[in-house]
Amino acid sequence: MARPNTRPKNATQRPGEILLQNKQKRRTAREVKEDKERMEQERQENEATAQCNTERIASIEDKMALKELKTLMDAPKPRPR
């Protein structure tokens, strides 16, 4: 039996390439490790920033409480008439 001839137009076409174009490339183990390290570093930076902000707000609240306490302790005395 004779082998079927390929038409000249189809000689350079690749019908399976359409499927390969939409396929997402897999990441290597090194890329995954780098991404995890980067995400961990970003998480630590965010936690440090949040901790710093919390401490700053706490110090402001402490100053406000001291100022309010001082105002209550040193209340102005009423003027005699």
Average pLDDT of 60-65?
98
Tell me the helices (H) and strands (E) count for the chain, helix number first: 2, 0
pLDDT of residue 55: 98
Place 54 in a pLDDT band, splitting at 50, 70 and 90: very high
pLDDT of 80 above 90: no
pLDDT tens profile 6-49: 888 887 888 888 888 888 889 999 999 999 999 999 999 999 99
| CA dist., res. 63 & res. 57, Å (int) | 10
What lies within 8 Å, CB to CB, of 35 at 6+ separation is 27
The domain locations on the chain are 30-73
Query: Nearest 5°: phi and psi at 7?
Result: -65, 145
